[in-house]
């Protein structure tokens, strides 16, 4: 007699009920919404809800409801046009205190959301949005690394009282000139013992004893890898500031990054923030030399010529007091005395100590804040179109150091509150380790995304129906049992995608279609084995037992090998390949459960208690 113990039947029922419950949120859809999250000093509370509702009512804009969700305010609307109008009204009402973004909010009932029931995430190709392919300038990353070594070596040689003429970075090399060979040899010995990441070569450059330093191959790989990973982290931080739901930021190859922003409608703002490579440098003003001589081409060795945004030239020290990498928080504010826009800066521990020491030793001296933006443009050089990257540094503020500065201070001299807000956002999110360039941009409209959903759903349904018809005609009652298991299998896949908040993409739908065919494959093996057992004269009950037990090893081998391939696809693939691999992995797991345990439970229920049943197979 074929039957499961009670605990196994209860386990199957529990899994089916949980699967149905967590697949349920996907039936409710979503609606246009405006998402408001805290900015520099804003608080997301009931007072904010009242303020937003008052602004919308004053502008006679109808909304469905405004509610607090996961530390943010979500205001829902009936259509996209109303949503866009409401965003402008809310942005003006809240000024710079909050981040206001367009979003799509699920309409899941509160009781279902309370137990963690959420619809699965839809990828860019299904929901619509924007896709960026970004290229990291690895040469610039190496150059920035050499600039850091340059500052460190200056300090090292000063401490060791080794005299040198100049240190400069030329492309991928760091050159250092000396007064005589004795000091050069001393410097070479000291640097080689302290910095094993540098390859050092002694040369004579125009009768000047010189050291030429390049990064080792290991250091080059490490520098490029760190630049790529830091840029990925920075881009994720910037996307979080934009308030985008379910973004994708991932590495492609060894120097490119893919960014997908589902549901984004304001692509210009996203492009502006993601592509910006702005950072800050704090430098002392050189008052010992004549700035006019520098304008005429005679720049002192330890100084650089910069221009204020109003056109005035300034000589600044080459030594940087502080860079943007030590900034952990930045907020746009209004100066209470002058009424001008400012940015309040908070430094990390290391930056605070360095800045405190630097300002303590220079009280009474002027300090400049340099805003550096990197841009790329295409120029025609020797008949070929070449992309040239250039830095646009400008001084935004020069002020005398009155007190010892430490962890918190303010930057003034900004033109507008918009500039202050954008600068604060970039500094909060962190500086890019190397400049990036958007080499490809694709926009998927919401209507095209809906078309993809409809076509994907149709493909799943068509494949599903054909399989149902074939199984019912070929295996009769047993075929109907397999069809029931297949339907439950689809529900469980959706439940897993929802429960784990995985992202469903168009290739993911292809993985589900493949799973539909693969899921019944196990049942075909089992049913054919049962037929063979019946043909050789075994009893129906013995044939059922033999069919499931003898086919299990074959089914397990086939599914394990497919699972290994799917895991490899997920581990090494990117974008669309990962989406396909995710649904394939889920499909293999659920099909093993439904095709073996699920169908066996139903067969036991129908035939298990009968002594010599007639099998409809």
pLDDT tens-digit profile of 337-368?
777 788 888 887 778 888 888 888 888 888 88
Most confident range, picked from 10-19, 318-327, 356-365, 573-582? 10-19
Residue 26 carries which DSSP code? Answer: G
**Long-range contacts of 565-568, Cβ-Cβ distance < 8 Å, separation of 24 or more:** none
Structure tokens, 328:
């952990």
Kindly report the pTM of this predicted structure.
Answer: 0.59
Give the pLDDT band of residue 106 (cuts 50, 70, 90): confident
Percent of the chain with pLDDT over 90: 3
Backbone φ/ψ region at 186: left (φ over 0), alpha (ψ -120 to 50), beta: alpha
Most confident range, picked from 15-19, 76-80, 160-164, 401-405? 15-19
pLDDT in the model for residue 18: 92
Backbone angles phi, psi at 163, to 5 degrees: -85, 135
Domains of the chain: 6-25+445-607 (1.20.1640.10), 30-106 (3.30.70.260), 138-219 (3.30.1360.100), 231-442 (3.30.1360.200)
Burial of 494 (0-12, 13-18, 19+ CB in 10 A): buried
Residue 101, CA distances (Å) to 67, 104, 108, 335, 464 in order:
15, 10, 21, 27, 39
Q: What is the mean pLDDT of residues 571-594?
A: 83
pLDDT in the model for residue 195: 85
pLDDT tens-digit profile of 37-50?
765 456 788 888 88
Whether the pLDDT of residue 245 is over 60: the answer is no
pLDDT tens-digit profile of 477-518?
888 888 888 889 989 999 998 888 777 878 888 888 888 777
Whether the pLDDT of residue 198 is over 50: the answer is yes
pLDDT in the model for residue 426: 63
Higher pLDDT, residue 191 or 329 = 191
Give the pLDDT band of residue 237 (cuts 50, 70, 90): confident
Cα distance between residue 387 and residue 538, in whole Å: 77
Per-residue three-class SS string for 96-111: CCEEEEEEEEECCCHH
Q: What is the signed CA dihedral for 192, 193, 198, 201, rounded to 10 degrees?
A: 10
Higher pLDDT, residue 427 or 161 = 161
pLDDT in the model for residue 271: 67
Higher pLDDT, residue 66 or 380 = 66
Whether the pLDDT of residue 407 is over 70: the answer is yes
pLDDT tens-digit profile of 368-406?
888 877 665 556 666 666 656 667 788 887 878 878 877
Residue 485, CA distances (Å) to 12, 236, 489, 545 in order:
12, 41, 6, 19
Question: Cα 306–312–315 angle (5° rounding)?
Answer: 35
Cα distance between residue 563 and residue 585, in whole Å: 6
pLDDT in the model for residue 431: 61
Question: Cα 517–520–524 angle (5° rounding)?
Answer: 125
Whether the pLDDT of residue 241 is over 70: the answer is no
Higher pLDDT, residue 511 or 267 = 511
pLDDT in the model for residue 40: 46
Percent of the chain with pLDDT over 70: 88
Q: What is the mean pLDDT of residues 169-177?
A: 85
Mean pLDDT of the chain: 81
Structure tokens, 109:
């009932």
Q: At what angle do helices 138-159 and 181-194 cross, to 10 degrees?
A: 110
Give the pLDDT band of residue 476 (cuts 50, 70, 90): confident
């Amino acid at each position: 007699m074929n039957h499961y113990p009670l605990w196994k039947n209860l386990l199957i029922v529990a899994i089916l009920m949980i699967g149905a419950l967590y697949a349920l949120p996907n039936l409710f859809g979503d609606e246009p919404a405006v998402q408001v999250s805290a900015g520099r000093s804003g608080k997301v509370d009931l007072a904010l809800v009242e303020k937003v509702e008052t602004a919308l009512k004053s502008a006679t804009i109808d909304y469905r409801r405004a509610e607090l969700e996961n530390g943010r305010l979500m205001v829902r609307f009936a259509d996209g046009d109303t949503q866009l109008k409401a965003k402008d009204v809310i942005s003006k009402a809240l000024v710079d205190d909050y981040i206001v973004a367009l979003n799509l909010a699920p309409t899941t009932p509160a009781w279902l959301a309370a137990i963690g029931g959420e619809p699965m995430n839809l990828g860019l190709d299904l929901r619509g949005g924007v896709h960026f392919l970004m290229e990291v300038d690895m040469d610039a990353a190496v150059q920035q690394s050499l600039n850091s070594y340059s500052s460190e070596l200056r300090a090292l040689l000063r401490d060791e009282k080794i005299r040198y003429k100049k240190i400069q970075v030329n492309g991928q090399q760091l050159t250092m000139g000396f007064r005589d060979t004795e000091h050069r040899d001393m410097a070479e010995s000291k640097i080689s013992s302290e910095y094993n990441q540098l390859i050092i070569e002694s040369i004579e450059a125009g009768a000047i004893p010189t050291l030429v330093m390049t990064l080792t191959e290991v250091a080059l790989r490490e520098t490029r890898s760190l630049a790529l990973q830091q840029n990925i982290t920075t881009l994720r931080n910037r996307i979080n500031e934009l308030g985008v739901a379910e973004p994708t930021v991932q590495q492609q190859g060894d120097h490119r990054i893919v960014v997908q922003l589902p549901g984004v409608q304001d692509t210009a703002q996203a492009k502006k923030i993601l592509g910006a490579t702005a950072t800050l440098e704090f430098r002392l003003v050189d008052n010992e030399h004549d700035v006019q001589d520098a304008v005429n081409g005679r720049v002192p060795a330890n100084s650089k010529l910069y221009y204020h945004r109003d056109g005035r030239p300034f000589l600044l020290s080459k030594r940087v007091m502080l860079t943007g990498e030590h900034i952990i928080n930045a907020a746009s504010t209004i100066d209470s005395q002058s009424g001008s826009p400012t940015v309040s800066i908070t430094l990390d521990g290391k930056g605070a100590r360095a800045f405190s020491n630097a300002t303590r030793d220079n009280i009474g001296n002027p300090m400049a804040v340099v805003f550096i933006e990197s841009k790329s443009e295409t120029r025609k050089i020797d008949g070929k179109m070449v992309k040239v990257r250039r830095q646009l540094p400008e001084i935004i503020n020069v002020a005398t150091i009155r007190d010892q500065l430490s962890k918190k201070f303010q930057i003034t001299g900004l033109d507008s509150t918009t500039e202050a807000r954008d600068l604060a956002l970039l500094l909060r999110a962190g500086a890019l380790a190397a400049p990036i360039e958007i080499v490809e941009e694709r926009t998927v409209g919401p209507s095209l995304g809906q078309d993809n959903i409809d076509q994907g759903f149709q493909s799943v349904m068509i494949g599903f129906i054909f399989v149902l018809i074939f199984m019912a005609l070929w295996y009769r009652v047993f075929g109907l049992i397999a069809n029931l298991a297949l339907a439950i299998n689809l529900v469980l896949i959706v439940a897993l995608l929802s429960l784990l908040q995985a992202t469903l993409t168009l290739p993911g739908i292809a993985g589900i279609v493949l799973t539909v065919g693969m899921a019944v494959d196990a049942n075909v093996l089992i049913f054919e084995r049962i037929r063979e057992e019946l043909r050789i004269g075994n009893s129906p009950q013995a044939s059922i037992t033999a069919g499931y037990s003898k086919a299990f090893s074959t089914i397990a081998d086939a599914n394990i090998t497919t699972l290994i391939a799917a895991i490899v696809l997920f581990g090494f693939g990117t974008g669309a390949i990962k989406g396909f691999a995710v649904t394939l992995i889920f499909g293999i797991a659920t099909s093993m459960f439904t095709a073996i345990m699920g169908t066996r439970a139903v067969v036991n229920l129908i035939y298990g208690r009968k002594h010599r049943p007639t099998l409809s197979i």
